[in-house]
Amino acid sequence: MDEQVLLSRARDSDVRLVRFLYCDNGGIIRGKATHLSVLADRLVSGIGLTVAMQAMTSVDRLASVQGLGPVGEIRLVPDPETFVVLPYAPHCAAMLVDMHTLDGEPWGACPRSFLKRMIVRARELGFSARVGFDPEWSLAVPDGNSWMPIDRSLCFSGLGMTSAEEVIDAIVGALEGQGLAISQYYPELGHGQQELSLHHADALHAADHHILYRETIRAVARQHGLVASFAPKPWPDQAGNGCHVHLSLWDESGTHNLFYDPAGRYQLSALGYQFLAGVLEHLPGLLALTCPSVNSYRRLQPQMWSSAFTCYGPDNREASVRIVSPYRGHEAATVHLELKPADNSANPYLAVGGVLAAGLDGIRRALTPPEGQLALVDPATIPETERAARGIRPLPATLGQAADALERDPVLIEALGPLLASAYLAVRRAEAAYFADVDPAREYQEHFEKY
């Protein structure tokens, strides 16, 4: 958006503060706001931020990262295309930012710049990525020091729709007010659990929209006296909150879905299988980016429809990668892959960038997914010895294991770059160490509050 258009839109909408938002290495959305009177300058120069913030954990303690301490500064530089007036916050607008060095270059620890690099990598191979998320979250009411689900409604039930209808209506209105296109809504399996998806978009916009989405859901719920939590496992006895990543590669102009081949098995093209093979091969390390909190590993259990094993299958919701059945008459546009082990404690720029890095590696090396990892049934029902023989391995069981796998994955580490990789690993390991000394009830509570 042109700078003058943006400024007059802000003035016409009576905006006073513009929030410059980013998502950090702990998956927390943070930012600083600028006043309208200095917005014109800030659009160019950005807002200053200490470099230490990319070493900050989700418990507001600094992890130890070389160079990311009390000395040093970067700039949060907003992307004018992302300017949006916030319908739920009086006189406020928001913009998503890139982190720049003082010289105006993308900073090595900037997650949004990492995703942009992966998008360029895809483009150099002639691809554009189409991405959608399936965010699940829990609606709760305060109950002393804790929270209780708003209802005990059944999966996809009309009564569930009824019990949440006012807040859902307000949320839909607030999302529409930001120009975010909504795809579908339903009450999910867990008590108080909701699922509301936005339309797919190109990779960068999908990640930007997910940030605005998370902000909107939490804010509007709060206005209704409720708490919305994106924690991967909100309560020990309820379904987990996933945020499955749907992805397909298209040609550069975005006209042809390159994952579609009418003659391919399940109508997935050879290119789609190569991408899938790359994701499967890198899955243990990728998990540190897509399921990156301590609480994530409470969700990833067998027979919870979140996936717990490295395998793939057509419409198999217990497989880590589902080959999604196309809609009849729209096959060419709708064949795609869905990554199940992904949740809302992830930084969406890192999660999508990581999936792209993994999949593109599969394409570059022309990998084929192992036939043994094709699962046509729930993998938990396959005897353990057979699973082992077929290469259907359990996913990492803890954040620490996933972080170790990421560190051992040269492709993902190279894609992240040295500063982002070291900062990210340090932050997530510091969180794992912090929660190792905390009792489980408090661990649940902290994740419930922060995501």
Which residues contact ligand GLU by CB under 6 A?
Answer: 136, 239-240, 242, 299, 304-306, 317, 340
Report what 265 binds from ligand GLU, Mg ion, none; CB cut-off 5-8 Å by kind: none
Report the residue number, 229 or 306, with the smaller CB distance to ligand GLU: 306
Report the residue number, 170 or 304, with the smaller CB distance to ligand GLU: 304
Residue 303 CB, nearest approach to Mg ion (Å)? 15
Cβ pair 151, 164 in contact under 8 A: yes
195: three-class secondary structure by DSSP: strand
Give the end-to-end CA distance of the chain in Å, rounded to a whole number: 31
Quickly list H helices, 71-134: 111-124
**How crowded is residue 439: how many other Cβ atoms within 10 Å of its Cβ?**
9
Report the residue number, 351 or 416, with the smaller CB distance to ligand GLU: 351
Tokens of 51: 């470099």
The reply to whether 343 sits near Mg ion by the rule CB under 5 A is no
Residue 384 CB, nearest approach to Mg ion (Å)? 28
Distances (CA, A) of 140 to 83, 137, 210, 225: 31, 10, 21, 9
Report what 204 binds from Mg ion, ligand GLU, none; CB cut-off 5-8 Å by kind: none
Closest CA to 127 of 342, 363, 410, 337: 363
Residue 76 CB, nearest approach to ligand GLU (Å)? 32
Residue 230 CB, nearest approach to ligand GLU (Å)? 12
> What's the alpha-carbon Rg for the chain, to the nearest Å?
21
Residue 151 CB, nearest approach to Mg ion (Å)? 17
From its phi and psi, is residue 192 left (phi > 0), alpha (psi between -120 and 50) or beta?
left
Report the residue number, 54 or 293, with the smaller CB distance to ligand GLU: 293
d(CA 263, CA 249): 18
Report the residue number, 240 or 278, with the smaller CB distance to ligand GLU: 240
Q: Pick from 24, 98, 151, 195: which binds Mg ion (CB under 5 A)?
A: 195
* Residues ≥6 apart with Cβ < 8 Å to 169: none
Report what 31 binds from Mg ion, ligand GLU, none; CB cut-off 5-8 Å by kind: none
> Interface with Mg ion by CB under 5 A: which range of 107-115, 190-198, 357-365, 425-433?
190-198
Residue 214 CB, nearest approach to ligand GLU (Å)? 17
Report the residue number, 195 or 343, with the smaller CB distance to Mg ion: 195
| Pair type for strands 182-187 and 227-229 | unpaired
Residue 96 burial class via C-beta count within 10 angstroms: exposed 0-12, middle 13-18, buried 19 and up: buried
Residue 172 CB, nearest approach to ligand GLU (Å)? 20
Name the residue number minimizing CB distance to ligand GLU.
242
Report the residue number, 248 or 306, with the smaller CB distance to ligand GLU: 306
Report what 135 binds from ligand GLU, Mg ion, none; CB cut-off 5-8 Å by kind: none
Report the residue number, 11 or 317, with the smaller CB distance to ligand GLU: 317
For the packed helices 203-223 and 348-364, what is the interaxial angle rounded to 10 degrees? Answer: 150
Residue 319 CB, nearest approach to ligand GLU (Å)? 11
Report the residue number, 102 or 155, with the smaller CB distance to Mg ion: 155
Report what 52 binds from Mg ion, ligand GLU, none; CB cut-off 5-8 Å by kind: none
d(CA 55, CA 72): 12
The strand pairing partners of 244, in sequence order, are 134
Residue 229 CB, nearest approach to ligand GLU (Å)? 14
| Measured torsion, CA atoms of residues 329, 334, 337, 343, in degrees rounded to the nearest 10 | -130
Name the residue number minimizing CB distance to Mg ion.
195
Tell me the number of residues near Mg ion by CB under 5 A.
Answer: 1
Closest CA to 307 of 266, 279, 335, 333: 279
Report what 299 binds from ligand GLU, Mg ion, none; CB cut-off 5-8 Å by kind: ligand GLU
Q: Which residues would be at the binding site for Mg ion (CB under 5 A)?
A: 195
